[in-house]
Structure 1
Amino acid sequence: MSDNLFQVTKDGKSGFINDKGQVVIDLVFDGVSSFSEGLARIFVGDKVGFIDTKGNIKIPPKFDTVSGFSEGMASATLGDKYGYIDTSGNFIMEPNFYRCWDFENGFALVMQEVVSTGCFIDKFGAIKLNGRNFLVSKYSEGLINCSENGDWGFIDINGNFIIPPTYKYAREFSEGKAAVSPKKINGKANKKELYAFINKENEIIIPPLFTGADIRFSDGMCAVWDKGYGYINNAGQLVIPCDLYLGQHFSEGLAVVKPNGKGKEYGYIDKTGAMIIKPTFTLAESFENGLASVTIGKKYEEFKYGYIDKSGKYVWEPTR
């Protein structure tokens, strides 16, 4: 979401509200997605286009599928193949790819064919990196986690190893840190698959203490697992014990969690681990621009979707 606009659906039609719960773009579309770079997807029948934050149609619904915009480009299909369009809706890379991902720092991961291992292209469509299995990698904070002969390290966009491939596995960088699984700990094999965190100088800044680590730090916190989910801070201190059934990323000071026990609902904790919003939701999303999307209902056919503020109060009562 951006510009403090939030997608909603009622009686089968979709539009947008502001952070006060007021409808600002009428619910007239068959579906919508969140705004990205000032544009949001609208679904009209089986075609997709874009509107601006005033509700004006900027790109008529003509695509079969299309992503949100990232760095001024969006992947789109007319038929079975993907290409990239600009904010005018014109293809600047013809739909010749089997699959495409968003651009980040000037580059995007694409699959050229169904059996492709993926490659990185620039904004002109030129292949920058190829020849590795990049489908389990991510270009983040200037580095790409990738493997060589089964060992993991980090390369730059030119394909040079900046951090040598010496780990059993490596996750992407976030907030200057990356989770890695060393082959050995104190001279012994890492049989428990413990994870440590390194900086971009390949220095271990948080020792390997947990059997699982979330993909990334956010809001200075990272979810870790040891017979349950908990959270560490930037110093690697376990500040929320590993006694949660599920823990997701922190955003705007709160994280979606599912406590241990018989209940299956989601709620929200703060950085002390205190339950700020009781677990009463079937599904819950992270807070963004002060609101969070939540779902209630026992069966998919009965699901209703609403928005809450940080006190847990509905600003948009659940609808469908």
Structure 2
Amino acid sequence: MLKRVAAIAAMMLAMTGFAWLGHGQAEVSVAGKPIAAEQKPAVERLYRVELDGKYGLINSKGEPVVAPIYDGIWYDSKPGNSYVITNLAEKKVTYYTLAGDKLFDCAMNSCGLMYDRLTIYTEKIQGTNGKTELRYGYKDSQGQIAIRPIYVKAFNFSEGLARVNLGKATGFIDTKGQLVIPYQFSYTADFAEGMAAVKLALNGKFGYINTSGKLVVSPRFTHAESFSDGAAVVYENGKYGYIDKTGKYILKPQFSMAQPFSEGLAFVERNGVTFYINKKGQKMIQNIKAGGTFSGGLAPASTGQKYGFINTSGKFVIKVQFEWAASFIGELAEVYINVPDSRDYIRGYMNRSGTIVWPPQQ
């Protein structure tokens, strides 16, 4: 298996170009720098792969879209976003659209991923005390400054809002840089499903605000997670439970471990036993030692040492065979494939039919 992967890596590194397969378009690589073709394919979800310490992107069929010849590559698939290639030798990162058009360069460790068509960047400025200080701002998809670097702390945009700090307190700005939720929180999380967990005081409790900044769930939880599938995990008195968006308990704290709900089910632990529940708290899937979230009716699960995938009825529809498995993102799930006669494993991708699409199988 390892020899086969090495051979695949050698093949990919030897390529002078790589295809936008399935669309009849091509993009060539000159000195490791992509040159976009004149015509571009429809954008689809891509997946990061690694071969011999180099990174690229594949499509859902396992076909190489960006050859794995780069020092690093990061990608977020939301519309209007891009992928980022790291060039260690030149100490820079380069942004490309998902169709392969170059956008702009940024100095290494100065820019992040693009969310809502904006990326965080850092700049050293002279403070009021005359000392040089690091501040955060945002650049647009052309590399132009969209929001000036004035923030002591800044985070990625989520649902059109980003949390920022000018001093100790945190507020939220919109994509135009307008402060829409005042600086008043000691802790904030990103928005999800129109809600964000917050703390008003440093040692206070967690509550939730909506995108207007209204405190819709009063601060009363020791810990609070983001909303998923209409519910949020909260922690109180040493146990986990679930609330709805009004703050009402769906399930009172009773679990020693609780994952987010997905497609009406959540993996939990109570009294040392793990199982999936519905929102009524009923045990729906049992005899599972480890489980993940559902996506398109499938979730990674294990009854012992290896992982497979179950459906929402708890039946293993993809047999137990992997060292580890993640939930599906789009059409593929990341899996750890064991190397025969070895304790090593290879990171790969599997489709919903249970076929390994990466690395290519002989």
Give the TM-score taking structure 1 as reference length. Answer: 0.78
Point out where structure 2 has 5 or more consecutive residues left out of the alignment.
Answer: 1-42, 125-133
Query: How many matched pairs?
Result: 299
1:205-245 alpha-carbon deviations (Å, 9 max, x no partner) = 3344433322x32222222221243222244322122x544
Any residues of structure 2 matched to 1:111-190 within 5 Å, and which? 111-112=165-166, 116=168, 118-127=170-179, 128-135=181-188, 137-148=189-200, 150-181=204-235
Are residues 1:257 and 2:301 paired? yes
Contact 1:41 1:51 in 2 (8 A): yes
Max Rg structure: 2
Describe the SS at the equivalent of 2:163: strand
Structure 2: how far apart are the matches of 1:230 and 1:94?
Answer: 49
1:202 is matched with which residue?
247
Contact 1:219 1:250 in 2 (8 A): yes
Point out where structure 1 has 5 or more consecutive residues left out of the alignment.
Answer: 183-190
Contact 1:42 1:61 in 2 (8 A): no
Distance 1:59-1:171 versus aligned 2 partners, 3 A rule: same
Contact 1:43 1:61 in 2 (8 A): no
Give the C-alpha shift of residue 318 in structure 1: 7.4
2:111 is matched with which residue?
66
Are residues 1:41 and 2:94 paired? no
Identity %: 30
Give the C-alpha shift of residue 313 in structure 1: 2.0
Give the TM-score taking structure 2 as reference length. Answer: 0.70
1:25-55 alpha-carbon deviations (Å, 9 max, x no partner) = 3333222123433411111123212112332
Identify the range of structure 1 (280-289 vs 68-77) with the bigger mean alpha-carbon deviation. Answer: 280-289
Structure 2: how far apart are the matches of 1:158 and 1:6?
Answer: 35
Give the C-alpha shift of residue 290 in structure 1: 1.1
Structure 2 counterpart of 1:10, from 1, 26, 51: 51
Distance 1:35-1:126 versus aligned 2 partners, 3 A rule: closer
The root-mean-square deviation of aligned C-alpha atoms, in Å, is 3.2
Contact 2:250 2:279 in 1 (8 A): no
Describe the SS at the equivalent of 2:312: coil
Identify the range of structure 1 (157-166 vs 99-108) with the bigger mean alpha-carbon deviation. Answer: 157-166
Structure 2 counterpart of 1:217, from 245, 248, 261: 261
Any residues of structure 2 matched to 1:90-101 within 5 Å, and which? 90-101=144-155
Contact 2:187 2:200 in 1 (8 A): no
